[in-house]
Amino acid sequence: MKEITDRISDIEFDMVTMRFDKSHPKFERIGNINVYRIGGGLGYLSKVLFIPQAALFALRRKHDLYWAMMTYMLFPVVLVRLLGKKTNYTLTLQDGDPFTHVFNRLRIFFFRPFLYWGFRKASKVQTISTFLAGWAKKMGHKKEVQIIPNGVDLSKFRIQNSPNKENNKIKLITTSRLVKKNAVEDIIESLQYLPENVELEVLGTGPLDEYLKLRAENLNLEKRVKFLGEISNESVPSYLFDADIFIRPSLSEGQGISFIEAMAAGLPVVATPVGGITDFLKDRQTGLICKVNDPKSIADKVMEYINNPELKETIIKNARDMVIEKYDWNLIAKRMKSKVFDVI
């Protein structure tokens, strides 16, 4: 949101979000966004109470458009509409979890009629992939869905060689939340089928952190897998520049901005053909496709890059050219203004 709003100077944005920590100010200006934090501190109950609190915020102010970011933010917008305020609203879908997880969880299932209503009445629905556009249609949106992906700040990903690179090492890298859908365990297991000079760096944290470390130890791979924890967005490019191949064998993916960042940094990519990944990853053109839940398939693709440097260089060039042409935040912001915010 910040990348987009920073590039649109003639529209003012108010953001209503939860106050997750008491140390966070109730109001601050960040870039081109007025950030208002409300509620919080009560666990799951805070999420429930956020809906009427956000609706009351909207009812007390005059806005020309509501922008619901992610599916569940339809709830306060729908409540505002049901209370009589007919302001136009747009919805952006960026969900990375499977459809069943988002819409069929027990605590959401009984409220699905409100989500159906929200999808049907939206002035615009914008998704970050063709895959998610299918969700919008499935949930009853009858108008054209605007498919506008997330992008990258190309100025941060100018290709450069790391001066500390060890020539005898081949470094795989993944930037992932350590959750089941990102299948980091499959990457770890793939090292069993690869030469000992192939190592893996894992950037990110999550609930599977300890399990994955133990898995690496049980496979006697702990010396070849480095868990680097949470890395700031500003530091990620330097880690990408220092790596050789980017891998994320996802089980589901709304789009997968980490893949785009890796391509921008000049890394060849190995990925599964799931969700929004297929919008940008074409096998042997902009990356290599591996099978889902198949560590041996991952290893085979890594070896293909190692044994075929000409193919590797072609893929790197094709992928970076695609990112420059389609995924520059400057282009994305212009499309958002003309295609999504044009109902103002």
Contact 281, 259 (CB under 8 A): yes
228 and 136 part of one domain: no
141 and 188 part of one domain: no
124 and 169 part of one domain: no
d(CA 328, CA 339): 16
**pLDDT score for 102:** 84
The mean pLDDT value for 272-277 works out to 96
Kindly give the interhelix angle for 112-121 and 74-82, rounded to the nearest 10 degrees: 80
pLDDT at 161 over 70: no
68 and 12 part of one domain: yes
The mean pLDDT value for 278-286 works out to 97
In DSSP notation, 205-270 reads --TTHHHHHHHHHHTT-TTTEEEEE---TTTHHHHHHT-SEEEE--S--S--HHHHHHHHTT--EE
**pLDDT score for 108:** 78
Pairing of strands 124-127, 66-69: unpaired
Tens digits of per-residue pLDDT, 124-144?
Answer: 999 999 999 999 999 999 999
Which of the pair, 299 or 165, is modelled with greater confidence? Answer: 299
Place of tokens 């601050």: 28
Contact 91, 121 (CB under 8 A): no
160 and 198 part of one domain: yes
Give the CATH number of the domain where residue 173 resides: 3.40.50.2000
DSSP helix/strand/coil, 29: strand
**pLDDT score for 340:** 94
124 and 110 part of one domain: yes
Confidence of residue 75 (pLDDT cuts 50, 70, 90): very high
Structural domain count, the chain: 2
Written in H, E and C, the secondary structure of 101-119 is HHHCCHHHHCCHHHHHHHH
- DSSP H or E run through 31: none
322 and 335 part of one domain: no
The first and second tokens of residue 316, run together, are 């790197």
134 and 256 part of one domain: no
Pairing of strands 198-203, 225-229: parallel
145 and 19 part of one domain: yes
**pLDDT score for 166:** 61
197 and 245 part of one domain: yes
How much of the chain exceeds pLDDT 70, in percent?
97
Q: How crowded is residue 46: how many other Cβ atoms within 10 Å of its Cβ?
A: 16
Over the chain, what is the mean pLDDT? Answer: 94
64 and 160 part of one domain: no
**pLDDT score for 130:** 96
Dihedral sign for Cα 286, 292, 293, 297, please: negative
Domain that holds residue 92: 2-151+329-343
pLDDT at 255 over 70: yes
pLDDT at 99 over 90: no
93 and 11 part of one domain: yes
The mean pLDDT value for 24-44 works out to 92
The mean pLDDT value for 163-173 works out to 78
pLDDT at 164 over 60: no
